Structure 1
């Protein structure tokens, strides 16, 4: 139970902390202090819905077709390893990306709530990677935990809640911390280590 929960938490955080349009939007809203809690809630609830859909749907499929378990395990390990190696490459050879906190605050007028909500929903639900990460990848790996896949889902959902609210509420501080390419190298290094360890744990006897 605890192993499944921490696996879900670790994998969830590793997937979600990767730089992307959604995270940058949350950061910028936090820096501007505009509809911060609303944005964090939309992102966290959306992730929770997708994670539960993936865990329950793929979990039932694997129960009906037992031979899928080893296939899913090795496929998940391969994906995690590739994801981890890409993150390690970004950490080793950075592209110079950084968050421009000053530019994020440059806006002539506060955004309307409706505009913020629609933008947040679009960045979340119209992004194909979110389905790969939450529905397929998390759902597939959760299925390898058998009856404990529910606890895996709990850990993954907790990761989303912790990350989005920490990102939104701590944006003022993070905006300064993530303003250098070196900070993103450290972040990518963390993602690489967790991804590779999880990949090994899936296939290690």
Structure 2
């Protein structure tokens, strides 16, 4: 294996992680609103990034064990992963044609500000109680396993880096993006980019089979 192999796996993990994470949803909406308000951003970003790191590592470990026990699972995971990616991409494309707007104007909890503990508890619930996160992590794990040993950990590291970059940008940069993210057009651009990335990754899995 060469440096190119490692960098390619890490880059693929980074792109896949960002494509899965960068989408309007309960967790991102909460981080964005808190970022716009400037409330408890450090703890919230740390919890999101650490939670993703744990979930990604678990996905890589779990899928790696499955592939070792059942080598034929690689083929199944490849096509299931491709189908999931394309489906996710099409869903993002649909959102691009029917964009949502999002602002931080609407107060939570009747206008009361959250304390640090309340904010962390909320983001933990939004992260770990969301069933879709486990589908995403299973997908990342299957894609990581398809890279082979030890490249799956470079893929996982890339996905973790994507999570850190995204949540830091979203949380700490939100105050600069308030006008941009209040426009439905901004979500159309974002979801359009996600759609292209996901479909391209899915097609790449099938072509590389």
- Per the TM superposition, whether the score is higher than 0.5 is yes
Q: In structure 2, what is the Cα distance between the partners aligned to 1:76 and 1:166? A: 28
TM-score, reference length from structure 2 = 0.92
Calculate the aligned-residue CA RMSD, in Å: 1.5
SS at match of 1:160: helix
Would the aligned equivalents of 1:100 and 1:179 in 2 still touch at CA under 8 Å?
yes
Would the aligned equivalents of 1:99 and 1:175 in 2 still touch at CA under 8 Å?
no
How far off its partner does 1:51 sit?
A: 0.3
1:29 aligns with 2:34: yes
SS at match of 1:34: coil
**In structure 2, what is the equivalent of residue 141 of structure 1?**
143
**In structure 1, what is the equivalent of residue 194 of structure 2?**
191
SS at match of 1:111: coil
Unaligned runs of 5+ in 2: 1-5
SS at match of 2:177: helix
TM-score, reference length from structure 1 = 0.94
**In structure 2, what is the equivalent of residue 47 of structure 1?**
52
Q: In structure 2, what is the Cα distance between the partners aligned to 1:108 and 1:81? A: 40
Unaligned runs of 5+ in 1: none
Q: In structure 1, what is the Cα distance between the partners aligned to 2:184 and 2:135? A: 27
SS at match of 2:102: coil
**In structure 2, what is the equivalent of residue 64 of structure 1?**
69
How far off its partner does 1:87 sit?
A: 1.1
Would the aligned equivalents of 1:26 and 1:39 in 2 still touch at CA under 8 Å?
yes
Q: In structure 2, what is the Cα distance between the partners aligned to 1:72 and 1:45? A: 26
1:10 aligns with 2:15: yes
* Correspondences of 1:59-138 after superposition (within 5 Å): 59-91=64-96, 93-94=97-98, 96-103=99-106, 108-134=111-137, 136-138=138-140
Count of matched residue pairs:
202
1:168 paired residue among 168, 171, 182: 171
Q: In structure 2, what is the Cα distance between the partners aligned to 1:106 and 1:53? A: 34
